[in-house]
Structure 1
Amino acid sequence: MKVLFASSESFPFLKTGGLGDVAYALPKALRKLGIDARVIMPKYSDIAENFRYNTSHIKSFDVPVGWRNKYCGLEYYEYDGIPFYFIDNDYYFKRSGAYGYYDDGERFAYFSRAVLQAITYMGDFNPDIIHCNDWQTGMIPVLLKEHYRDYSNYNHIKTIFTIHNLRYQGVFDKKVLTELLCLNEGYFHEDALKFYDGVSYMKGGLLFADKISTVSTTYAEEIKTPYYGEHLHGIMQKRSDDLWGIVNGIDYDLMNPETDKNLFFNYNSETLYNKTKNKLELQKMLNLPVNENIPMIGLVSRLVSQKGLDLIGCIIEDLLQDGIQLVVLGTGDKEYEDMFKYFAWKYPNKLSANILFDNSLAQKIYAASDMFLMPSLFEPCGIGQLISLRYGSLPIVRETGGLKDTVHPFNPCTGDGNGFSFTNYNAHDMLYVIRKAEYYYYNEKGNWTNLVKRAMHENNSWDNSAKIYANLYNSVI
């Protein structure tokens, strides 16, 4: 089976969020199952020079963008056994970052068409499936059916569309249909691409792909409801039989406390004293009181409302009266950045606010923390709680999306569970659960250590999920 994984980002080339991790780790896991999975993405100028200047050029060709033809260079690079293809065009991709430009509708219309054009030039690799991801590739299933179905090297190709976050939909002015996508105005109706007064690239993937997946079983059910469905819940209900919920994993080769070079000390479940040493070193680094007995709560996140930071804002004064340390890492909305900066100034011995993104520091926080806080309003899957489990930092989460699927509350009667959770989106429910975790940390060391070891022994790698994706692919061929 041959699968072309189309993504707007991928580790190690350019990553802004969880999609970048999935676009590397899932194809890697699929290849272990004997599936010829390859990745195609834009060749951004922010890709490190050691990658960007060492790709091999396969072919140059034109890509139709409305009435215009635009240059495309197809390039190739193999990393960690995974074949990567790159779509090269300086006009669209020689910019800082990946998203947030006024012409993103045109950039990813071009990318979607370029992916399809590139298939002709991939030699003996002719995919059975194009696996599309989020709105940036949502038009691929539409363009495949409209422009390529009559060609012999395309008419067998099936499409899978994965929703990583339904909130971000790629909605643009209706003129993109004719001016960018070479589609007629017949696509501007409710059963096609029309979304209020605009055109939704996300809706294209949802309606025209052969099957749909999303990144946890709970989120697959949630998005069928008005509260989580982002005005697309009707489509999710209509395509319910084609919708698969498959929880993400993490790459256990990369996320491994025994080998992680970012840590002060490597450790495993039998050498937890080295985990404690990581906490002591991070306390020194962040100018917090150095005390191995104080529970450290980590928060590594985009600082946006989706992540439940308004709940933290409601109770942070109360929380910082407790015998804890809170370590925050991330950037985002100014109100949350300022909130954490203010309380770090007010309580310098209790809170370290690191308003930046630093992958090395993130790994140090996962390793040093005793608990990891994710009180999300919604969370399609979540990666942070999976990493924290791997590193023995017990997650405290709200029961939504992938958090509900992967974090199971500790039951003191049976000893079962791998973390702590609360159901209602309520600040005081969250504070109650945090304090319950504090109680077990301080008063039941045996239970706490057993919980940490159980969390570290869990398998949240891609092994199981990759097999489910293989079943999904087989269901459409």
Structure 2
Amino acid sequence: MRVLFASSEVFPLIKTGGLADVSGALPAALAEAGADMRILLPGYPQAMDATEAKREVGSLGDPLAIGAETRLVSGKLPESGVPVWLIDCPVLFQRDGGPYQDGHGRDWPDNALRFGLLSRVAAQLCTDGSPAKWRPQILHCNDWQTGLAPAYLHAWELLARPGTVFTIHNIAYQGQFPPEMVARLGFPPEMYAMEGLEYYDSLSFLKGGLYYSDRLTTVSPRYAKEIQTPAFGCGIEGLLSRRATDLCGILNGADYGVWDPESDSHLAHPFKPGDTAGKARNKAALQEELGLAPLPQAPLMVIVSRLSDHKGMDLVLAALPAILAMGAQVALVGTGDHQLEDGFRAAAAAHPAQVAACIGYSEQLAHRMMAGGDILLMPSRFEPCGLTQFYAFRYGTVPVAHATGGLADTLVDTGYDTLMTGTANGFVFEHCNAGAFQWAVERAVALHARPDQWRKIVKACVAQDFSWGRSALRYLDLYKSLAGTGKGGGNGKGRAKA
């Protein structure tokens, strides 16, 4: 099974969030399961530098008439060795800043062209116009940045094409641009319609992927249901509900080759999962590193997250006085909304022995947070899947989380029955408000003070297995159902409307 996996970020080449983790680990698991994989990624400077065994494949021409040649470079991902193709177009990708924004947090003004090129190259590699001899049977696209690839395949009216799969990692990010970009990106005007690319008087990359792909997936079963409702569908629930038979939720996994406390090079004291003495040493090291009071009995709560209201970080700030009054400590690493960043900085300045706020992102510190923390705070208003709870499980850090998306699919709330049966692996709250969040934290702190009970919860956490192998097999089954169909369009003219 030949699969082209297109994504805007791939760990360890470039990362801003969970999409990169998925795009690095899932293709490796699919390759291990027997698929012939290629990953397609823009040639950002970091990615070009980190890719191993690079060689030029050939020219892609100037598909979007930007006045510069685009070339295809092949290489391999570090460690896994999965083949990767990089789109070498310096005028669009060779720049300082992140993949989506400049150093001041502003979206690149030419993102429509940048990710239009990513989508177009993904489609081109499925045709006779590809400079590579390898042709995919399946094109798997991820999030809005690749959403136009299935639309290009539809526009070109190919006699035969690969089956197309589009995965929604977060429906809140939709890639909306002015209508004039439709012609600029090479689409016929009739595709800019409600039954096509149009979304509330704009061109939507996301809708292109949702409308023209053969199959749609999300990253958890619960999220697949949620996004068909107005509360979670971000205005596109109509299309999704009409395509419900083509939509499924496949839970993400965790890369235990990267997230393993026993072999984790980022830790001061590597330890076996479930080793309480080893975890205590890492807790002490983390407290010292962050300048927190060296209190072994104080529950240390960690946050590894983007700082936004979507992630419930405003709820953490609202409950923080009560959390500190319980004698707990809070350590955070992340970046996001400036108001929330300032709020956590102020809390750390006012309570340096109890609060540490590391604004920015550090993969190394994230690992040490998981190893040293007792409790992980994840009060997300919505969470398509969440990967952080998987990492926390393996490191014996107990999540406190809102029952939404993948968190609801993977967490079992701690109560009398679940403690007795040994299935409790977290503290869950149903209503997403500061009071409900605070009550869940209070329950966690109360159980943390009872070591015998706490060890039962940690044991259940460590026993969780969310390795990628199971998810990869489900994707392979999906691919096999599409391979060789030669369909000319996933959604069919006049089928579903947003």
Same fold (TM over 0.5): yes
Take 1:36 and 1:132, find their aligned partners in 2: how far apart are those partners? Answer: 16
Take 2:113 and 2:60, find their aligned partners in 1: how far apart are those partners? Answer: 18
Q: Of the candidates 114, 127, 136, which is equivalent to residue 127 of structure 1?
A: 136
1:34 paired to 2:11: no
Checking the alignment, whether the CA contact within 8 Å between 2:280 and 2:296 is kept in structure 1 is yes
Take 1:61 and 1:268, find their aligned partners in 2: how far apart are those partners? Answer: 49
Match of 2:460 in 1: 454
The residue identity in structure 2 corresponding to 1:439 is: A
Checking the alignment, whether the CA contact within 8 Å between 2:10 and 2:23 is kept in structure 1 is yes
Match of 1:256 in 2: 260
Checking the alignment, whether the CA contact within 8 Å between 1:7 and 1:40 is kept in structure 2 is yes
Match of 1:334 in 2: 338
Match of 1:93 in 2: 93
Take 2:204 and 2:222, find their aligned partners in 1: how far apart are those partners? Answer: 24
Take 1:82 and 1:269, find their aligned partners in 2: how far apart are those partners? Answer: 28
Take 1:336 and 1:270, find their aligned partners in 2: how far apart are those partners? Answer: 34
In the alignment, structure 2 segments of 5+ residues that lack a partner are: 101-106, 484-498
Match of 1:421 in 2: 428
- Can you list the C-alpha shifts for 1:282-321, whole angstroms capped at 9, x where unaligned? 1111111112111100001111111001212222112111
Give 1:125 deviation, angstroms. Answer: 2.1
SS of the equivalent of 2:401 reads: strand
Match of 2:492 in 1: none
Give 1:48 deviation, angstroms. Answer: 6.1
Give 1:69 deviation, angstroms. Answer: 6.4
1:74 paired to 2:72: yes
Match of 1:465 in 2: 471
Take 2:125 and 2:479, find their aligned partners in 1: how far apart are those partners? Answer: 21
Give 1:146 deviation, angstroms. Answer: 1.2
SS of the equivalent of 1:194 reads: coil
Give 1:33 deviation, angstroms. Answer: 1.0
In the alignment, structure 1 segments of 5+ residues that lack a partner are: none
Take 1:387 and 1:113, find their aligned partners in 2: how far apart are those partners? Answer: 35
Take 2:155 and 2:112, find their aligned partners in 1: how far apart are those partners? Answer: 19
Match of 2:441 in 1: 434
Give 1:112 deviation, angstroms. Answer: 1.3
Match of 1:136 in 2: 145
Checking the alignment, whether the CA contact within 8 Å between 1:72 and 1:114 is kept in structure 2 is no
Match of 2:376 in 1: 372
SS of the equivalent of 1:55 reads: strand
Give 1:122 deviation, angstroms. Answer: 5.8
Give 1:387 deviation, angstroms. Answer: 0.8
Q: How does 1:45-60 map to 2 (within 5 A)?
A: 45-47=45-47, 49-51=49-51, 54-60=53-59
- Can you list the C-alpha shifts for 1:339-359, whole angstroms capped at 9, x where unaligned? 111111111111111112111
Aligned length: 469
Match of 2:316 in 1: 312
Checking the alignment, whether the CA contact within 8 Å between 2:60 and 2:131 is kept in structure 1 is no
Take 2:68 and 2:87, find their aligned partners in 1: how far apart are those partners? Answer: 12
Task: Tell me how large the CA RMSD over aligned residues is.
Answer: 1.5
Q: Which runs of 4 or more aligned residues in structure 1 lie more than 6 Å from their structure 2 counterparts after TM superposition? A: none
TM-score (norm 1): 0.95
The residue identity in structure 1 corresponding to 2:73 is: E
1:109 to 1:123, Cα distance in 2 relative to 1, 3 A: closer
1:184 paired to 2:188: yes
SS of the equivalent of 2:413 reads: coil
Give 1:56 deviation, angstroms. Answer: 0.4
SS of the equivalent of 2:310 reads: helix
SS of the equivalent of 1:320 reads: helix
Give 1:186 deviation, angstroms. Answer: 0.8
Higher relative contact order (CA 8 A, sep 6+): 2
- Can you list the C-alpha shifts for 1:325-366, whole angstroms capped at 9, x where unaligned? 110111111111111111111111111111121111111000
1:405 to 1:19, Cα distance in 2 relative to 1, 3 A: same
Checking the alignment, whether the CA contact within 8 Å between 2:6 and 2:141 is kept in structure 1 is yes
TM-score (norm 2): 0.92
SS of the equivalent of 2:295 reads: coil
Match of 1:5 in 2: 5
